[in-house]
């Protein structure tokens, strides 16, 4: 299928790419086949696909694995496939918003989730944070992202691309690039290049194992606070977020972590953020319970 047939098919079915849903449909067979080849799937796998669209990726997935559960937010797309009966028998369509769906019931007994997605760019950041939140349920995710977003996840300390998603994902998974995809592969054509990446959560990557145990909730809060206002020093950023109310004790904890209070978030490595989390855990534990700052959920935080 190419651009014109895709456009005509959508028109015949009374469908159109939803800008709100960030829909860009793959139009060439070679790209989804290549994604499936690179995903490293096994014949007995159950795979969750996010954003079924017209089924360009769904069909080669279904040919490679035992079952595909396709999560699709567009009711028109669901209706189209139900009427046409054009998807393989081992595909289960689910009308659901992946940002709201409960992942736990989708996990097979004794296994973890395997996700493959041509992800709508409009939900890429919240989707990635959902993966991080649900890391214990995840095996791996093979995801198509806007190139700049994907590069951010693999950025190094000191670069402008390095941010909260980089650090939080590195603390639970390993990210590597699989395939560059140009705008001509989609209808409508996006104005940006795309990159397919693989995010491995299990078995736990060595770098993650080497971090040891630490307070994940506090770690997440510290990372978000540190990157919340990138121009602020680490001390001022954490103080503004009230990670620790006593600024002097906060400065002491930062120094105890081997970091300067005047450093900025983008200069700290994953390991330094973990060490800082341990030192702040000690400092918080030394305070009376009524002085502990309120906890904050991912939903309440600004995702930098």
182 is in an annotated binding site: no
Distance, C-alpha 278 to centroid of its chain: 25
Q: Is the dihedral of CA 256, 259, 264, 269 positive or negative?
A: negative
- Identify the CA nearest to 32 among candidates 176, 185, 184: 185
The residues, ordered by sequence, that sit 6+ positions from 63 with a Cβ below 8 Å of its Cβ are 36, 88
Question: How many of the other CB atoms lie within 10 Å of CB of 105?
Answer: 6
For residue 112, how many C-alpha atoms fall within 13 Å in the half-sphere facing its CB? 14
118 is in an annotated binding site: yes
133 is in an annotated binding site: no
Show the DSSP H helices in the chain as ranges. Answer: 3-12, 30-38, 58-64, 75-84, 124-133, 147-153, 164-170, 206-211, 216-228, 234-240, 247-256, 270-285
- Identify the CA nearest to 226 among candidates 237, 239, 236, 217: 237
Q: Which residues pair with 25 in a beta bridge?
A: 187
90 is in an annotated binding site: no
- Alpha carbons 185 and 205: distance in angstroms, whole number: 32
For residue 119, how many C-alpha atoms fall within 13 Å in the half-sphere facing its CB? 27
24 is in an annotated binding site: yes
H/E stretch holding 70 reads: strand 67-72
236 is in an annotated binding site: no
- Identify the CA nearest to 117 among candidates 143, 136, 92, 83: 143
Q: List, as residue ranges, the binding site.
A: 24, 26, 51, 72, 97, 118
Q: List, as residue ranges, the binding site for S-adenosyl-L-methionine.
A: 24, 26, 51, 72, 97, 118
């Amino acid at each position: 299928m190419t651009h014109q047939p895709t456009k005509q098919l959508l028109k015949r079915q009374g469908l159109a790419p939803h800008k709100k849903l960030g829909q860009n449909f793959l139009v060439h067979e070679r790209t989804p086949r290549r994604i499936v080849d690179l995903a490293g799937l096994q014949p007995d796998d159950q795979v969750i696909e996010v954003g079924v669209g017209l089924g360009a990726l769904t069909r080669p997935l279904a040919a490679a694995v035992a079952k595909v559960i396709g999560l699709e937010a567009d009711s028109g797309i669901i209706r189209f496939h139900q009427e046409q009966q054009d998807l393989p028998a081992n595909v289960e369509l689910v009308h659901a918003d992946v940002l709201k769906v409960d992942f736990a019931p989708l996990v097979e007994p004794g296994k973890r989730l395997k996700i493959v997605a041509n992800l709508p760019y409009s939900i890429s950041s919240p989707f990635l944070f959902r993966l991080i939140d649900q890391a214990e349920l995840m095996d791996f995710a093979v995801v198509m992202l806007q190139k700049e977003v994907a590069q951010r996840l693999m950025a190094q300390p000191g670069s402008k691309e390095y941010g909260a998603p980089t650090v939080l994902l590195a603390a639970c998974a390993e990210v590597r690039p699989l395939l560059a995809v140009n705008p001509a592969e989609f209808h409508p054509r996006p104005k940006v290049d795309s990159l397919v990446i693989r995010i491995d959560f299990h078995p736990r990557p060595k770098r993650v194992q080497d971090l040891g145990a630490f307070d994940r909730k506090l770690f997440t809060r510290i990372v978000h606070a540190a990157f919340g206002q990138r121009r602020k020093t680490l001390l001022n950023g954490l103080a503004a977020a009230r990670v620790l109310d006593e600024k002097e004790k906060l400065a002491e904890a930062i120094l105890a972590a081997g970091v300067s209070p005047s450093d900025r978030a983008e200069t700290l490595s994953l390991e330094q953020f973990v060490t800082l989390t341990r030192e702040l855990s000690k400092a918080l534990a030394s305070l009376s319970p009524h002085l502990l700052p309120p906890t904050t959920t991912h939903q309440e935080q600004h995702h930098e």
